[in-house]
Amino acid sequence: MGNFVTAAPNEAAVISGRGGTRIYVGKTGFRFWVIEKVDRLSLELFTIEINSQDAETCRGVRVNVSSIAQVKVHAWKDVEELARTEDGRSMHGKKGKSSKGDLNNTRIKLAAQHFLGSKEDSIREALQRTMEGHQRQILGTLTVEELYKDRKAFSAQVREHVFDDLAAMGFKLVSYTVNSISDNSDYMVSLGVTQTAIVKREAAEGKARNESEAKKKVAEFNAQAEIAEAHAMREAHVVVAQQQEQEAEADRDLNLKKAAFEREVNQANAEAKAAGPIESAKQQQAVVREETRQVQVREQINLDIADQLVAREQKEKEGTALAAMLAEKHKAEGIRVIANAEADRIKLLGQADAQVIREKGEAEAQVLERKANAYKQYGEAATIQMIIEKLPEIAKNVAEPLQKTEKMVFVSSDGSSGSQLTGDITRILGQLPDVVEGITGFDLREAVNSNNNKQKKDTKTTSQNGHSIV
């Protein structure tokens, strides 16, 4: 089976085996027999004395440095504020236990790997060698003067350089203090003597400087006293002058008031003497104002009468213009009525003419229709008869322009100019069948010949039947 394992607050119980590694601090755990084992790691402080004998500084001066370091296992996680310098080194600031109190298992495991099962003396020796190595390394970068003047800077550099190595071992540096710095060649004593001489010199200089400052202050105080006295005398003189100025101003104000009073009295006397003429002048001015007002009222009445006359004349002119306008309006209305009547008359005449033309057209259409029926009934004979009847009218129309000729002059070499005129008219009439055929398509010659042939045939037929032709 197994047993319970209890760890005190100042130690870490490390259980390792089948289930891996478990760490308990201030708690109780369970360990299985055979397959698991328990080791304990102390979490207490290790006080380490670091003595660096004959350590060389950067200028080759050998010194002896003694210091005390407090180191412990880094069992709890810290809240660290880290700042990076330009050369990449980490400056470790304030450290403190985390708010949750979490175990730093990583650091405890590192310490367990290095020192679990080891005795405290061996652990202290390993830590002491590490601290002394870093202390000697830092001493090699400094001068004796720097060590003598600023031990705090030396301690800070040691803390910074040892931090990473201790962390890799699972430990952390809790404190580091330099106890003493000395050398075997009295270099530090010489520095002390020099420093003492410097201090004495500075003391003498300070005494002389203080005495000089005291004399300066006495002189300054005396000068300030004299200046204050002069200021006081000047202020007293100014006060006296101001008092005299105020007295002069008071006398001036009194004289001015007296003169003002006398001026008022003289003005009152003059006003009393001039009151009578002034009152007469005022009465005269009132009379003039009244007369002027009367003239103004009279002129205003005349203006009102003139305005009324102008208004009456304007109204008369407006009445005359209105009457003329009404007359023109009535005249225009009469013209409009006449124009409308004339338009109606023209419209009625047009309608009557249109009716006559329509009836005439209808009558002519009926005549044409009857003629057409007669033409259909009588055939070509009627057509020929109609054309022959129109020949005299056509000849008349052809010869009609000659009737309007007052005088005709015939020029001819053979004396036949007069007979040629008649021949021209006859030739025109002879061309009529061609004109009729060209316009109507009716061949007058063919119709006449056809009609003659038909009459001859009818005559022959009648003769054969025994009838005589009259």
Tell me the per-residue pLDDT of 236-258, one tens digit each, with 9 for 90 and over.
888 888 888 888 888 888 888 88
Q: Tell me what the mean pLDDT of segment 204-216 comes to.
A: 82
Report pLDDT digits (tens) over 338-394.
Answer: 888 888 888 888 788 788 888 887 887 787 777 767 666 556 666 666 777 777 777
Q: How far is CA 390 from CA 50, 385, 386, 435, in A?
A: 172, 9, 6, 14
d(CA 116, CA 42): 9
d(CA 455, CA 452): 5
Q: What pLDDT was estimated at residue 450?
A: 74
Highest mean pLDDT out of 154-158, 194-198, 199-203, 388-392: 154-158
Coil/strand/helix, residue 214: helix
What are the φ/ψ torsions at residue 28 (nearest 5 degrees)? -120, 135
Quickly state the pLDDT bin for 449 (edges 50, 70, 90): confident
Give every CB contact of residue 346 below 8 A, 6+ residues apart in sequence.
Answer: none
Q: What pLDDT was estimated at residue 251?
A: 87
Give every CB contact of residue 231 below 8 A, 6+ residues apart in sequence.
Answer: none
* Residue 235 confidence (pLDDT) above 90: no
Give every CB contact of residue 90 below 8 A, 6+ residues apart in sequence.
Answer: 82, 83, 84, 160, 163
Kindly report the average pLDDT of the chain as a whole number. Answer: 80
Report pLDDT digits (tens) over 119-129.
Answer: 999 999 999 99
d(CA 71, CA 59): 31
DSSP 162-197: HHHHHHHTTEEEEEEEEEEEE-SSSHHHHHHHHHHH
* Residue 400 confidence (pLDDT) above 60: yes
Instruction: Give the pairing of strands 90-92 and 82-84.
Output: antiparallel
Q: What pLDDT was estimated at residue 165?
A: 93
Coil/strand/helix, residue 32: strand
d(CA 275, CA 282): 10
User: What's the token pair of residue 44?
Assistant: 């207490």
Q: What pLDDT was estimated at residue 402?
A: 65
Quickly state the pLDDT bin for 67 (edges 50, 70, 90): very high
Report pLDDT digits (tens) over 77-105.
Answer: 875 533 433 444 444 444 444 444 588 99
Amino acid, res. 359 = E
* Residue 171 confidence (pLDDT) above 90: yes
Q: What pLDDT was estimated at residue 365?
A: 79
User: What's the token pair of residue 459?
Assistant: 């005559």
> For 414, which DSSP code?
S
Q: What pLDDT was estimated at residue 133?
A: 93
Q: How far is CA 144 from CA 64, 139, 181, 194, in A?
A: 11, 9, 9, 14
User: What's the token pair of residue 125?
Assistant: 């020796």
Tell me the residue ranges of DSSP E strands in 308-444. Answer: none
| 271 vs 151, higher pLDDT | 151
d(CA 251, CA 262): 17
Asked whether the beta carbons of 39 and 16 are under 8 A apart, the reply is yes
Q: What pLDDT was estimated at residue 129?
A: 94
* Residue 180 confidence (pLDDT) above 70: yes
Return the bridge partners of 72, or none.
Answer: 172
* Residue 468 confidence (pLDDT) above 50: no
User: What's the token pair of residue 137?
Assistant: 């390394």
Percent of the chain predicted with pLDDT > 70 = 80
d(CA 42, CA 38): 13
d(CA 20, CA 7): 18
Q: What is the largest CA-CA distance in the chain?
A: 207
Q: What pLDDT was estimated at residue 440?
A: 64
User: What's the token pair of residue 117?
Assistant: 């099962």
H/E stretch holding 286 reads helix 187-378
d(CA 228, CA 93): 59
Tell me the residue ranges of DSSP E strands in 297-374. Answer: none
